């Protein structure tokens, strides 16, 4: 089955007469049962919930996983669960341009002496492989946030496997439609379902997808004990979002590609970072390892200082000035307004998450702002 059919057909109730077409939101804290509890029993709602199971089934099929995904209360709950795979006293290799929350959490655990962190430029394959000596877990984002660098996933995942290093790919930016890390050799995939999967900026949810049932079992037992579980309605909203994932991704990606081309030509723009542009440093890698497109996040460095760029953002009408990404509405943000953003991210750089609005309206809004910058 094609992925754009799976998003619609997966996670449905049994095909029997009079069954509801959609899975219900199952609100219960416990399940009926007598006798010894077996691994197949639902038992208690911290272990599992039928509404999560529907979401977990679709996501696993999208990522070509051999076992259901695990849903979490947020993307960060999933990240935190994955980071516990770094043994105490072990070493985590982390891209220097990773999701803020992941970097901060890793740093805190390093400060507490739990494990040590090596940061790498994940686009530099040789340096990243060299950093794997004696390491325990390699964390990868590709494209990276917010620089949109592309990691050589097949080379890094194979190199990590040879060295016995566990690999975890945060696939939030690419979505399982454009990139399937398990097929490329990853042990674990992380999602902030808050972004593209749910897709409407109305819910927080996270997920892990495992390459083996053994790893899933271990993480499931841990999720049950730590309790970072989603509410059934949140899982239902995310599943409802997944139904339109393919059309949203296709539409927003076309808009992003068009805007990247036009932005590149604008005199007030110094640089556009988007792997879909032929001149982008990550273009060839992305073309080889991403399936069917380059995503709908891009970053733009205008020829103006941070204050002028903030002024541009505050005058936009169609774009929403906000953090986050992957929703139907286009969001724009100067990333360095977060004081924890790495200094290697230009102070005046804007990250754009292209939504599904008409691309001409998105362009007119941006163009007017950039024209005003050029006139200053």
Ligand X SMILES: *Cc1c(COP(=O)(O)O)cnc(C)c1O
Contact letters for ligand X, residues 160-189 (x by CB under 6 A)? ----------x-xx----------------
| Contact with ligand X (CB under 6 A) among 53, 65, 97, 99 | 99
Is 101 a binder of ligand X (CB under 6 A)? yes
Tell me, yes or no, if 99 is annotated catalytic.
yes
Is 70 a binder of ligand X (CB under 6 A)? no
Q: Looking at 11-19, 46-54, 73-81, 268-276, which segment touches ligand X (CB under 6 A)?
A: 73-81
Sign of CA dihedral 112, 144, 52, 230: positive
CA distances for 360 relative to 58, 64, 217, 311, 364, angstroms: 34, 36, 48, 22, 6
Catalytic residue among 195, 285, 335, 336: 195
Closest CB to ligand X among 6 and 204?
Answer: 204
Length of the chain (residues): 376
Name the minimum Å distance from CB 78 to ligand X. 8
Please give the Cα distance from 96 to 264 (Å, whole number). 26
Closest CB to ligand X among 298 and 312?
Answer: 298
Closest CB to ligand X among 172 and 369?
Answer: 172
Shortest-Cβ-distance residue relative to ligand X: 75
Query: For residue 269, what is the enclosing H or E element?
Result: strand 269-273
Please give the Cα distance from 368 to 108 (Å, whole number). 42
Closest CB to ligand X among 170 and 280?
Answer: 170
Name the minimum Å distance from CB 199 to ligand X. 13
Tell me, yes or no, if 305 is annotated catalytic.
no
| Contact with ligand X (CB under 6 A) among 194, 201, 289, 348 | 194
- The angle that helices 75-83 and 213-226 make with each other, rounded to 10 degrees, is 110
Query: For residue 54, what is the enclosing H or E element?
Result: helix 50-62
Q: How many CA atoms lie within 13 A of 369 on its CB side?
A: 25
Buried b / exposed e along 323-361 (16+ C-beta atoms within 10 A): eebbbbbbbbbbbbeeeebeeebbebbbbbbbbbbebee
| Contact with ligand X (CB under 6 A) among 142, 145, 175, 252 | 145
Closest CB to ligand X among 204 and 370?
Answer: 204
Sign of CA dihedral 64, 70, 74, 75: negative
Closest CB to ligand X among 119 and 145?
Answer: 145
| Contact with ligand X (CB under 6 A) among 79, 160, 188, 373 | 79
Is 75 a binder of ligand X (CB under 6 A)? yes
Is 74 a binder of ligand X (CB under 6 A)? yes
Tell me, yes or no, if 285 is annotated catalytic.
no
| Contact with ligand X (CB under 6 A) among 61, 97, 195, 266 | 195
CA distances for 323 relative to 127, 175, 338, angstroms: 31, 18, 10
What DSSP designation does 214 have? Answer: H
Is 296 a binder of ligand X (CB under 6 A)? no
Closest CB to ligand X among 204 and 332?
Answer: 204
Is 228 a binder of ligand X (CB under 6 A)? no
Contact letters for ligand X, residues 20-59 (x by CB under 6 A)? ----------------------------------------
With the CA atoms of 129, 78, 341 and 321 taken in that order, what torsion angle do they form, in degrees rounded to the nearest 10?
130
**116 and 93 Cβ atoms separated by less than 8 Å:** no
> Residues in the site for ligand X, rule: CB under 6 A?
74-76, 79, 99, 101, 141, 145, 170, 172-173, 192, 194-195, 204, 206
What residues act catalytically? 46, 99, 170, 195
């Amino acid at each position: 089955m094609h992925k754009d059919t799976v998003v619609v057909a997966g996670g449905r109730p049994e095909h029997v007469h009079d069954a509801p077409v959609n899975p219900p939101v199952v609100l219960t804290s416990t399940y009926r049962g007598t006798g010894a509890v077996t691994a197949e029993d639902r038992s208690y709602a911290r272990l599992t919930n039928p509404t999560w199971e529907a979401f977990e089934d679709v996501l696993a099929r999208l990522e070509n996983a051999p076992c259901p995904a695990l849903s979490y209360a947020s993307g960060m709950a999933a990240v935190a669960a994955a980071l516990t795979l770094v043994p105490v006293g072990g070493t985590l290799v982390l891209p220097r341009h990773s999701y803020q929350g992941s970097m901060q959490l890793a740093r805190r655990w390093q400060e507490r002496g739990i494990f040590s962190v090596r940061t790498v430029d994940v686009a530099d394959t040789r340096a990243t492989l060299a950093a794997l000596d004696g390491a325990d877990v390699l964390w990868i984002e590709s494209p990276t946030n917010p620089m949109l660098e592309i990691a050589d996933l097949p080379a890094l995942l194979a190199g990590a496997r040879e060295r016995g290093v566990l690999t975890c790919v945060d696939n939030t930016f690419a979505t399982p439609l454009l990139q399937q890390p398990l097929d490329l050799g990853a042990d674990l995939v992380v999602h902030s379902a808050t972004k593209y999967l749910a897709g409407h900026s109305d819910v927080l949810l996270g997920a892990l997808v495992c390459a083996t049932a053994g790893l899933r079992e271990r993480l499931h037992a841990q999720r049950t004990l730590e309790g970072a579980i989603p509410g059934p309605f949140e899982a239902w909203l995310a599943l409802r979002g997944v139904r339109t994932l393919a059309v949203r991704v296709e539409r927003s990606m076309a808009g992003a590609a068009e805007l990247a081309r036009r932005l590149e030509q604008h005199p007030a723009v110094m640089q556009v970072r988007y792997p879909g542009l032929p001149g982008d440093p990550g273009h060839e890698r992305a073309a080889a390892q991403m399936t069917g497109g380059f995503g709908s996040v891009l970053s733009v460095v205008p020829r103006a200082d941070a204050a002028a760029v903030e002024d541009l953002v505050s005058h936009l009408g169609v774009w929403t000035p906000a953090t986050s990404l992957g929703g139907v509405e286009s969001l724009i943000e100067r990333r360095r307004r977060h004081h924890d953003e790495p200094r290697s991210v230009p102070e005046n750089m804007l990250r754009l998450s292209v939504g599904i609005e008409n691309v001409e309206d998105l362009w007119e809004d941006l163009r007017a702002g950039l024209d005003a910058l050029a006139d200053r």
